[in-house]
């Protein structure tokens, strides 16, 4: 199906998402921070990126900006995920950096599957 890059500093969440996405038939690449996510995106050319917002060093917003600034990656859809209690700030920030969606943590798998179906749907 699709190659999905998961960028999150929480080890448990990375592997939970990996398991769920692989069970749905997707190939998964994992990154533990924003810098590694940029490197993985450049090397692995994912079809979609799931990115945590709050990470040490390069946060999800800045990582998304860097990915969108690369002409070879600018068309890759990015979905931000966040445990923040300020959903409006997340949605506003997500729009500013060009993401296709912002989802809450903990991430309901059925919601993730809905977003993936919409984003990855063949045109």
The CATH number of the domain holding residue 47 is 3.40.50.2300
Chain-centre distance for alpha carbon 68 = 13
CA nearest neighbour of 28 among 7, 12, 42 = 7
Question: Into how many domains does the chain fold?
Answer: 1
pTM for this prediction: 0.88
Mean per-residue pLDDT over the chain, rounded: 87
Question: Does residue 85 carry a pLDDT above 60?
Answer: no
Residue 22 has pLDDT above 70, yes or no: yes
> Which residues are CB-contacts of 23 (< 8 A; sequence separation ≥ 6)?
none
94/92 Cα distance (integer angstroms) = 5
Domain that holds residue 57: 3-120
* pLDDT score for 102: 79
| Number of C-beta neighbours around residue 87 at 10 A | 11
Q: Is the pLDDT of residue 48 over 60?
A: yes
> In which band, very low, low, confident or very high, does the pLDDT at 97 lie, cut at 50, 70 and 90?
low
């Amino acid at each position: 199906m699709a190659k999905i890059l998961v960028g999150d500093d929480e080890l448990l969440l990375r592997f939970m998402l990996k398991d769920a996405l692989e069970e749905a038939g997707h190939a998964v690449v994992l990154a533990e921070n924003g810098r590694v996510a940029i490197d993985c995106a450049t090397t692995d050319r994912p079809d979609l990126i799931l990115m945590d917002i709050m990470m040490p060093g390069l946060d999800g917003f800045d990582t998304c900006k860097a990915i969108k600034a690369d002409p070879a990656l600018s068309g890759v859809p990015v979905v931000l995920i966040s445990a923040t209690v300020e959903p409006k700030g997340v949605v506003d920030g997500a729009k500013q950096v060009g993401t296709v969606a912002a989802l809450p943590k903990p991430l309901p798998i059925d919601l993730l599957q809905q977003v993936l179906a919409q984003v990855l749907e063949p045109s």
